[in-house]
Amino acid sequence: MSTIEHAPESHHLAPGVVADQQRRVVLFLILADAIFFACMLFSYFYLRALNVHGGWLPEGVNTAPSWQIWLITAVTVASACAYRSAEMGIRAEQRVRFQTGSLLAIALMIVSIALVIYQANTWGILMSDGSYASMFIVMTGVQLVHLVVVLILGIGIWNRGNQGKLDNGNVTHATVVGYFWYWVTLTGVLAACTSFVVH
């Protein structure tokens, strides 16, 4: 009997192909989230325009303070800017800049989350207070979930950078985390703009 030896086959994809796949996955995730966000905005403006029997904002019902909304938005934008600086640092193979920037971004994201929770506990709005209250509570809850997801991703990418796994041009993970970070920041700004069209 003869034995035929086969060379082991490699099933690993080229790094560039893997990076492209990872970017596409995150972009599709953002696209799906964008559709959901667009539906929320549509519902907000639709219910405001419909205003059946004055149910959008009944008399005596509080609205969320605009300064709280824009403070949360400003801190979230600052967090995204800090992460962008960190991302540019790792691209330039400056690990210290990446670590510093990402830690600052994480800290600011924690502040954003704390502010959202504070807002939810102090605004005095219930789901039964009309369509505005219902939409605002839902949008705030969605925002909180997004911020928590960004925080988890931020901690994870900081840990990878701290372990040196983003060195030598291996920045794909930092890039795709940035995609989602900036998207969440953009949705926060757009949602905050609804504070101008309450009444």
Q: Comparing C-alpha atoms, which of 73, 56, 95 is closest to residue 193?
A: 73
Separation CA 82–CA 87 (nearest Å):
9
pLDDT digit string, tens, across residues 36-73: 999 999 998 998 898 888 888 788 777 888 899 999 99
| The pLDDT of residue 81 is above 70 | yes
Domain 68-199 part of CATH 3.40.50.360: no
User: What is the reported pLDDT for 65?
Assistant: 83
pLDDT-above-70 percentage for the chain? 91
Q: In this predicted structure, which of 13-17, 113-117, 162-166 has the lowest mean pLDDT?
A: 13-17
CB under 8 Å to 55, separation ≥6 — which residues? 130, 131
Residues 164, 170, 174, 180, CA torsion sign: negative
User: What is the reported pLDDT for 54?
Assistant: 80
Q: What DSSP state is assigned to residue 31?
A: H
Report CA 199 to chain centroid distance, whole Å.
28
Q: Where are the domains of the chain?
A: 68-199
CB under 8 Å to 173, separation ≥6 — which residues? 22, 157, 160, 165, 166
- Token code pair at residue 96: 């210290």
State which H helix or E strand residue 168 sits in. none
pTM higher than 0.95, yes or no?
no
pLDDT digit string, tens, across residues 119-153: 888 887 777 778 888 888 999 999 999 999 999 99
Amino acid found at 79: S
User: What is the reported pLDDT for 40?
Assistant: 93
CB under 8 Å to 16, separation ≥6 — which residues? none
Report the half-sphere exposure of 100 (CA within 13 A, side-chain side). Answer: 7
